[in-house]
Amino acid sequence: MTQLTITERSPEPARPEPRPRRGPSIADRIRNMGEQRTGALLLVLATLVAIVWANISATSYHDFWETELTIGFGDIHLEFTLHALVNDALMAIFFFTVGLEVRREFAIGELTSWSRAMIPVMAAIAGLLVPAGLFLAIAAGSGSEHAWGVVISTDTAFLVGALALIGPRASGRLRVFLLALAVVDDIGALSIIALFYTENFTPLPLVVAAVGLAGIYFTRYLRRGRGPIYATLSIIVWLAFLASGVHPTLAGVAIALLIPVYRPNRRDVEQALELARVFRQSPNTEYARQAANSLRESISINERLQSAYSPYVAYVILPLFALANAGVEISGPILAAAVQSPVTWAIIVGLVVGKFVGVFGAAAIMKVFKLGEFGLGLTLDRIAGGAMLCGIGFTISLFIIDLAIDDPGVQNEARVGVLAASVLAFILAAIVFRISDARRPDDDGGRTLVRAVDPKRDHIYGDVNAPLTIVEYGDFQCPFCLKASGSIEEVRRELGDRLRYVWRHAPLERQHPNALAAAEAAEAANLQGRLPEFSRSLFADQDHQLPSDIIRRARELGLDVERFEEDLSSPKVTERVRDDMLDAEAMDITSVPTFFINGVRHVGPYDARTLIRALTGSEPDRADAQPAPRADA
């Protein structure tokens, strides 16, 4: 049985220890940056190297990437240049990971709920149309109107990395919005590549590709040996796309959309844990293999592949792509030509102005007309900064330049436009975010409740119209929350109908490994109207909150277990818990329990006497109160 580590005190943020005189090493700094930031940094470095290389020796740069390669045996062989190998083969892996993310978002992510998804979806569509329209208007008569696809796509890797570098405080909901937008943006960009930038189309190989894709779909039903089959069929599909004239990178997307994705089944997780215990008791090769296979199979292949490929994409493939495609010759004549080129200006205006107007304009219209569901913290000023960041169009923009423009001189002008637009978008976004943060009180520090109590949404105990309010952000696996629950009961007995108590989730996953699962289980129980009893049972036995314990608890309380298990994996439950967690992030809640008394953060002891004095010592602001029936009482 997995034992929890019980701490002696609430995990408040530790006081920083005196720093040693010697600072962290470069390796430590890189590790602390995270994959997204490090990947964005490598992209920038590769871009700078390509520019420097191309300007020191343009001949060697172009000759190197045009080096011929032959892959095959006997009479069967493929001939590639290094440039084509990067753009056609390695980038297929990049688009494969993009497709995996698209599949996941539609299956179990942000795009499963239309009320939430419609905001980034509409913003992304406007962010595709407006830049293309501006490009066509400015580039009209230049002979390069066909290159309008250069301005349609936001670079997801740079977007996430830049948000991490210059984004606003507590940017959780903005990050979710931009990631969902980027997914839809990628779908649009890939569709446009397939429809408008495919030449020499030959339909017969696509029949082979269709058979291979069907095989990939049905491979999920095999009990073992799926990995080699997936790999073999994927290569066949990629070769078929290559032979058809459809750009082979799209094979990566098609394959990814057929890879199954699901949330971990709790019974599978429990079985994996049981096999791990068996191996611990009797370590041998067979038990090790069974335990490893069971652990691996409890996670969907979609997520396993994302985890496996994302480091290679971030650290190898995208930097190589930048190195092979960003070699812009920057000289006086070239810059002079770029400044006078309608293509350069069409790209700059399309990416910087078009993306901002499209994304921000669509979001503002939906906000004004109250269309869709905007999470708290997703304000228009922050959306403005995110919309400006969407003007960073690097990877797919450079990719389409190679497909849409034949003239090397015009290609150079277009690349200058992409690089200039990306730098300008980054700088303007940083300014917008700084202004946005400056408009917010610097000294608030999460002292006030960011989301007013909503009787239609919140778990409220007591009269929903009561004049006094306690909102607790807590964790079912935290022993201090258990102690606080006794104080809350005493306060409720003392104040009676004058008090409404609100519970919100803030599971500390690092300290309490089963806290998130417990929170989702409580929400699943709430869908059957049994939240109070289920919450009490979670607090009563904090050492037993493994998947089997949660199912057993549901059975003991008389819940419909089959429905309960289905709800545990539903997006509705996941989103409900994640909303509370994003609120907690916005208010810098790093320890639990955290109380808000009449909308103001409570600091200090949380015994019953102290809470009662805090509640009755000031009159609350009841602007958020609305008549509603009693809920969860």
pLDDT digits (tens, 9 = 90+) for 149-183: 999 989 877 787 788 778 786 667 788 788 888 87
On the question of pLDDT at 271 being above 70, the answer is: yes
On the question of pLDDT at 4 being above 60, the answer is: no
Task: Spell out the domain ranges in the chain.
Answer: 34-198+247-263+300-439, 264-298, 459-616
Confidence (pLDDT) at 374: 80
Q: How many residues does the chain have?
A: 633
Q: Of 504 and 566, which is predicted with more confidence?
A: 504
- C-alpha–C-alpha distance, residues 394 and 380, integer Å: 25
Q: 50 falls in which pLDDT band (50, 70, 90)?
A: very high
On the question of pLDDT at 323 being above 80, the answer is: yes
Residues 459, 503 contacting (CB under 8 angstroms): yes
Residue 470 backbone zone (phi > 0: left; psi -120 to 50: alpha; other: beta) = beta
pLDDT digits (tens, 9 = 90+) for 385-417: 999 999 998 888 988 998 899 898 899 899 999
Residues 400, 193 contacting (CB under 8 angstroms): yes
Is 459-616 in the same CATH topology as 34-198+247-263+300-439?
no
Residue-averaged pLDDT of the chain: 84
Confidence (pLDDT) at 170: 62
In the predicted model, what is the mean pLDDT of residues 423-440?
89
Token output for 259? 């890879």
Q: Of 622 and 180, which is predicted with more confidence?
A: 180
Sequence-ordered alpha helix ranges (H) in 19-90: 26-56, 58-65, 82-84
- What does the CA dihedral 187, 190, 194, 199 come to, rounded to 10 degrees? 170
* CB neighbourhood size of 318 (10 A): 24
Find all residues with CB under 8 Å of 4, minimum gap 6, and list them. Answer: 477, 512, 513, 514, 542, 543
Confidence (pLDDT) at 441: 56
On the question of pLDDT at 630 being above 90, the answer is: no
Q: 249 falls in which pLDDT band (50, 70, 90)?
A: confident
- C-alpha–C-alpha distance, residues 495 and 493, integer Å: 6
Q: 7 falls in which pLDDT band (50, 70, 90)?
A: very low
Residues 256, 230 contacting (CB under 8 angstroms): no
Find all residues with CB under 8 Å of 518, minimum gap 6, and list them. Answer: 476, 477, 507, 538, 545, 550
- C-alpha–C-alpha distance, residues 381 and 402, integer Å: 36
Confidence (pLDDT) at 31: 54
Q: Of 162 and 353, which is predicted with more confidence?
A: 353
Fold classification of 34-198+247-263+300-439 is Na+/H+ antiporter like fold (1.20.1530)
On the question of pLDDT at 17 being above 60, the answer is: no
Task: Answer yes or no: CATH 1.10.357.10 is held by domain 459-616.
Answer: no
Peptide bond into 593 cis (omega under 30): yes
CA dist list (Å): 99 to 64, 103, 253, 255: 31, 6, 5, 8
In the predicted model, what is the mean pLDDT of residues 31-48?
76
Q: Of 522 and 249, which is predicted with more confidence?
A: 522
> What DSSP element (H or E) covers 72?
strand 68-73
DSSP, residue by residue, 478-528: -HHHHHHHHHHHHHHHHHGGGEEEEEEE---TTT-TTHHHHHHHHHHHHTT
Find all residues with CB under 8 Å of 572, minimum gap 6, and list them. Answer: 113, 527
Q: Of 114 and 397, which is predicted with more confidence?
A: 397
DSSP, residue by residue, 368-406: HTT-S-PPTT--HHHHHHHHHHTT---HHHHHHHHHH--
Q: 617 falls in which pLDDT band (50, 70, 90)?
A: confident
Please tell me the number of Cα atoms within 13 Å of 447 on its side-chain side.
7
Identify which of 302-306, 333-337, 557-561 has the greatest average pLDDT.
Answer: 557-561
On the question of pLDDT at 586 being above 50, the answer is: yes
In the predicted model, what is the mean pLDDT of residues 46-67?
91
pLDDT digits (tens, 9 = 90+) for 70-93: 876 666 667 888 988 998 889 889
205: phi then psi, degrees, rounded to nearest 5:
-60, -25
Q: Of 472 and 112, which is predicted with more confidence?
A: 472
Least confident of 310-314, 353-357, 375-379: 375-379
Angle, in degrees to the nearest 10, between helices 332-340 and 408-438? 70
